[in-house]
């Protein structure tokens, strides 16, 4: 943790020295994270906003030291993601304003400028609210679930509808009056054509995975649609498509990293399956986007859609596994396997449903493990393993015992006890409080019951 006591400075020289120190610490941290210079400037701008005075009482005003500690808590990858979210909003502002400038109707232009500057001026406060979290996890969650960029995309879309003719909008600095609207595809760069080719392959091909009734384009229909959209909107679509792919690839890396660390228990298996479903879903998502009756409808669906929102739940699952990894660092494979089994029991609503026992979700179970702490958790694992060991010993004794009516009677009762263990385990976790759960485990007699059966079988 970065520690700099800037509250004790007395003189102007002390203040300057403290500022130099905090800048050096921040720069060192960003270097460690591999943040390039242009993105460091973005961080400085964000720091100026969140450490500045707030007119909203409930919004936190950061000290420089606290801001540095927050960045440290976020880590390199999550910080880079937050930076890009902020940069995308700034880019969307520039693009919207550029289109507004091309509106010839002064009244309409002024009305849209008022709307634009209202959103732009509100953004610093909105940024403060995104940073108004109790910890780095909460701040990251606020950023990844935010969609303020849609405000400027919507304004840009509205402005495009108000531009009277193509001469009013430029394409990469070239007046669009010089850009022919026919054969838009031929105006694209090679890498842009690759993107359009990928999209075309999806919307002109029948899906072999997802059976849907979405519109199936011919090649001519697809290229005509591009021409109707125009070069500006086509480039917007390309940018959004590439953003979707970047976010998907970045999340794939997160999934791969957490799976590489964790054994192939239920959580990671479920995560792999769900991510694969979302990955396979993207072509269907594109088909849904293009299932419109006109070019404006396709464009609107593209700019308003947010494929990355599909990853929010899975990002939560990644965090659950990461938190579990941190808690169980140093645990043996057997210990982790025991916790995985316990998780499978307490999150199964079918177990103990008649008795009304508490069913956990994964976050609740992780929180309970965290509250128990490593030492008490290891004691609980030992109690479970002792029950498992006693059960196996009783089973071995039963298999050795000579056949008799007594053996059959004992076997029936032994099977009842064995089948009831999962429900018993859920009962031990029912209290939903670490102290109570620990106390209930310490009082569990299930191992002794299995041992009694072993002794009975031994005496046959």
Q: State how far the Cα of 346 lies from the Cα of 98, in Å rounded to an integer.
A: 56
Nearest to 72 by CA among 32, 42, 40: 32
Residue 69 in this model has a pLDDT that exceeds 80: yes
pLDDT in tens, 153-210: 889 888 888 875 444 445 444 455 444 445 889 888 888 999 999 999 999 987 654 5
Domain ranges within the chain, ordered by starting residue: 1-164, 176-322, 328-458
pLDDT in tens, 333-392: 899 889 989 999 999 999 998 889 999 988 788 889 988 989 999 999 999 999 999 999
In percent, how much of the chain has pLDDT > 70?
87
Mapped onto helix, strand or coil, the DSSP state of residue 4 is coil
Q: Which of 83-87, 212-216, 262-266, 430-434 has the lowest mean pLDDT?
A: 262-266
pLDDT in tens, 376-392: 999 999 999 999 999 99
Mean local confidence (pLDDT), 444-460: 93
Residue 260 in this model has a pLDDT that exceeds 90: no
Q: State how far the Cα of 225 lies from the Cα of 288, in Å rounded to an integer.
A: 15
Note the pLDDT of residue 54: 66
Note the pLDDT of residue 224: 92
Note the pLDDT of residue 210: 54
Note the pLDDT of residue 409: 92
Note the pLDDT of residue 394: 94
pLDDT in tens, 191-204: 899 999 999 999 99
The pLDDT confidence band at residue 444, using thresholds 50, 70 and 90, is: very high
Note the pLDDT of residue 211: 52
The pLDDT confidence band at residue 246, using thresholds 50, 70 and 90, is: confident
pLDDT in tens, 16-55: 444 557 788 888 999 999 999 999 999 999 999 999 876 6
Note the pLDDT of residue 408: 93
Q: State how far the Cα of 2 lies from the Cα of 280, in Å rounded to an integer.
A: 43
Q: Which residues of 347-372 are buried (b: 16+ CB within 10 A; e: fewer)?
A: beeebbeeeebebbebeebbebbeeb
State if pTM tops 0.75. Answer: no
CB atoms under 10 Å from CB of 93, counted, come to 20
């Amino acid at each position: 943790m970065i520690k700099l006591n800037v509250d004790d400075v007395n003189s102007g020289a002390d203040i300057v020295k403290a500022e130099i120190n905090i800048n050096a610490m921040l720069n060192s941290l960003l270097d460690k994270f591999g943040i390039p210079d242009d993105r460091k400037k973005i961080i400085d701008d964000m720091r100026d906003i969140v450490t500045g005075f707030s007119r909203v009482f409930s919004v936190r005003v950061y000290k420089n030291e606290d801001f540095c500690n927050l960045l440290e808590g976020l880590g390199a990858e999550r910080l880079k993601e937050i930076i890009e979210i902020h940069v995308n909003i700034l880019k969307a502002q520039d693009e919207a304003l550029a289109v507004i400038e091309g509106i010839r109707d002064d009244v309409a232009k002024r009305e849209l400028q008022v709307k634009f500057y209202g959103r732009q001026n509100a953004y610093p406060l909105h940024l403060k609210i995104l940073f108004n979290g109790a910890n780095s996890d909460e701040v990251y969650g606020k950023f990844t679930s935010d969609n303020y960029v849609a405000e400027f995309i919507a304004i840009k879309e509205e402005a495009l509808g108000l531009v009277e003719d193509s001469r009013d909008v430029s394409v990469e600095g070239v007046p669009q009056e010089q850009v022919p609207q026919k054969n838009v595809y031929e105006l694209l760069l090679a890498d842009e054509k690759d993107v359009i080719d990928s999209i075309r392959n999806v919307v002109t091909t029948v899906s072999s995975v997802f059976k849907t009734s979405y519109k199936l384009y011919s090649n001519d229909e697809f290229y005509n649609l591009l021409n109707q959209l125009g070069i500006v909107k086509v480039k917007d679509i390309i940018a959004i498509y590439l953003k979707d792919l970047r976010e998907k690839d970045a999340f794939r890396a997160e999934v791969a990293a957490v799976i590489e660390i964790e054994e192939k228990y239920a959580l990671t298996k479920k995560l792999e399956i769900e991510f694969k479903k979302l990955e396979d879903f993207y072509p269907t998502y594109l088909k849904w986007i293009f299932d419109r009756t006109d070019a404006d409808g396709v464009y609107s669906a593209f700019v308003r859609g947010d494929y990355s929102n599909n990853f929010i739940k899975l990002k939560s699952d990644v965090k659950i596994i990461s938190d579990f990894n941190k808690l169980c660092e140093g645990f043996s494979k057997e210990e982790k396997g025991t916790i995985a089994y316990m998780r499978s029991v307490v999150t199964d609503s079918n177990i103990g449903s008649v008795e009304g026992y508490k069913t956990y979700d994964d976050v609740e179970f992780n929180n309970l493990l965290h509250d128990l702490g490593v030492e008490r958790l290891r004691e609980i694992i030992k109690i479970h393993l002792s029950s498992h060991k006693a059960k196996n010993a009783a089973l071995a004794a039963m298999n050795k015992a000579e056949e008799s009516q007594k053996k059959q009677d004992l076997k029936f009762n032994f099977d009842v006890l064995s089948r009831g263990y999962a429900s018993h385990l859920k009962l031990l976790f029912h209290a939903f409080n670490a102290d109570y759960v620990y106390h209930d485990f310490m009082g569990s007699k299930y191992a002794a019951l299995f041992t009694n059966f072993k002794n009975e079988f031994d005496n046959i």
